[in-house]
Amino acid sequence: MSINRRHFLGGSAALTGAAVLGYPAAAADAIKLGSVLDSSGIFDAYGKPMDMAMRLAVADINNAGGLLGRPIEVVAYDTQSDMALYSQYAQQLTREDQVDVVHGGILSASREAIRQILRKSGTLYFYNVLYEGGVCDRNIFINGVTPAQQVEALVPYAMNKVGARTVYILAADYNYGQITAKWIQKYVGDNGGETVSVDFFPLDVSDFGSTIAKIQSTAPDLVIAPLVGGAHLSFFRQWAAAGMKARIPLASTTLGVGNEHKVLTADEGNGIMVAYNYSQELDTPKNAEFKRKWAAAYGDDTAIHEIAVSNYQGVLTWAAAVREAGSLERDSVVAALETGISVQGPGGTVTVDPRTHHAVLDVHLMEIENQGMTVIDTLPRRQPIDTQAVCDLEANPDDNQQYEIEI
């Protein structure tokens, strides 16, 4: 009795969800892809396009006949930017829905909230977001760029371009910002420069007046700003409003990940140097095709951003591995992924690095121009060297932690 009732409730909830989201009720033998993303709440600027990208990838695969001859059914939950809901829905996905794979998580805190749950239940997990690096766990695959991949490319380019010797760093005060700031300091030193100061700002700081004055009192040649989120966006506004743009050039490792450069006016954003795996202005056939499909599905393609593309590429990678393995069983899919599988995505070729379960991918140097990101140069096949320095899953397959990389 009890079991019937629970299944009935679970089933009806899933059906309601499917109906609401406009998806046809899937056949009984559908492959279940679980997704947990913040589609509402303060992080939905990241989460919503990620959700759209995931559904686009699944629709692509289903239109091409599905996977192993079976359709994919999406089981998606909106975590409402609430970390507690992540663990709740992860339990739901593994116990009630018994999905075959989970894609999702945005902030590092959300990933750490569900990583162990998925590991314990043996559910394969894809985290498709740019992050601070260092996670070493055989159950997880990560395809976002890590600080070393980005910073290694961005710092020499920015320093050469403006002839900088002294650099001022403004970073978001959490895991990602702290670690990225250390990598920036290292590469500034390697390129013969000097870091004059590093300031950290919690994510809710939005008043940078005193900081802008302080920066001027040290008069650096370049400011690098891995600042994150809506509140920190005001730094770029206030910087422009004080007339600083003409005086000291800016570079960032985060501006644009959630399409922030489209929120700034052209005057505020122009000339800021960034480096990512994806830009809407990337001139490749794959990207043109992707943008066309997106526009066909959602009306226009303005919502596409870096981590939406990562999520799309994550689903493609998983699908490629399932085809290769010919099975959905976790260990065979992991084994297939560990052969160093590659997919062609909108951002270029993405290859799984078997040792770290991170990705080898192209990094594009870009400059913000008229609310777009103009590609200046492409550095192909960058290795995740930060995580590679601490993590070797081929030697230690049972490793399960997030390393803090000593630089």
Applying the rule CB under 8 A, the residues between 328 and 347 that interact with another protein are: none
Closest CA to 306 of 349, 363, 223, 344: 363
Amino acid at 159: M
**Of positions 122, 202, 380, 397, contacts another protein by CB under 8 A:** 202
Q: Contact letters (x/-) for another protein, 131-170, by CB under 8 A?
A: ----------------------------------------
**379 contact partners, CB below 8 Å, separation of at least 6:** 153, 362, 363, 364, 365
**Strands 372-382 and 358-369, bridge-based pairing:** antiparallel
List binders of another protein among 243-272 (CB under 8 A): 243-244, 247, 258-260, 263-265, 267-268
**Of positions 166, 191, 216, 351, contacts another protein by CB under 8 A:** 216
Q: Which segment (157-165, 239-247, 278-286, 368-376) binds another protein by CB under 8 A?
A: 239-247
Determine contact, residues 320/343, Cβ cutoff 8 Å. Answer: yes
Find where tokens 């960058």 sit.
382
* Shortest Å, Cβ 367 to another protein: 19
Q: Which segment (2-10, 23-31, 66-74, 282-290) binds another protein by CB under 8 A?
A: 2-10
- The rounded distance, in Å, linking the Cα atoms of 259 and 257 is 6
Structural tokens at position 401: 């932690």
Return the sign of the alpha-carbon dihedral for residues 33, 36, 38, 40. Answer: positive
Residue 83: C-alpha distances to residues 42, 87, 132, 311 (Å): 12, 7, 18, 20
List binders of another protein among 383-402 (CB under 8 A): 401
- Any contact of residue 18 with another protein (CB under 8 A)? no
Residues of 150-179 as b/e, b for ≥16 C-beta within 10 angstroms? bbbbbbbbbbeebebeebbbbbbbbbbbbb
**Of positions 7, 214, 292, 381, contacts another protein by CB under 8 A:** 214
**Of positions 66, 156, 166, 173, contacts another protein by CB under 8 A:** 173
* Shortest Å, Cβ 293 to another protein: 21
- The rounded distance, in Å, linking the Cα atoms of 198 and 183 is 12
Q: Which segment (3-11, 141-149, 292-300, 356-364) binds another protein by CB under 8 A?
A: 3-11
CB of 39 or CB of 139, closer to another protein: 39
- Any contact of residue 40 with another protein (CB under 8 A)? yes
**Of positions 31, 56, 113, 255, contacts another protein by CB under 8 A:** 113
Q: Phi and psi at residue 224, in whole multiples of 5°?
A: -110, 125
Closest CA to 225 of 254, 264, 187, 260: 254
Find where tokens 């290795």 sit.
383
# of chain residues touching another protein (CB under 8 A):
84
CB of 2 or CB of 63, closer to another protein: 2
- Any contact of residue 35 with another protein (CB under 8 A)? no
Q: Extract the runs of DSSP E, i.e. beta strands, from 22-148.
A: 31-37, 72-78, 101-104, 124-127, 135-137, 140-142
* Shortest Å, Cβ 366 to another protein: 20
- Any contact of residue 296 with another protein (CB under 8 A)? no
**Of positions 199, 281, 301, 324, contacts another protein by CB under 8 A:** 199
List binders of another protein among 73-92 (CB under 8 A): 77-80, 82-85, 87-89, 91-92
3-state helix, strand, coil in the chain (%, to 5): 45, 20, 35
**Of positions 56, 101, 107, 315, contacts another protein by CB under 8 A:** 107
CB of 177 or CB of 314, closer to another protein: 177
CB of 30 or CB of 117, closer to another protein: 117
- Any contact of residue 24 with another protein (CB under 8 A)? no
- Any contact of residue 370 with another protein (CB under 8 A)? no
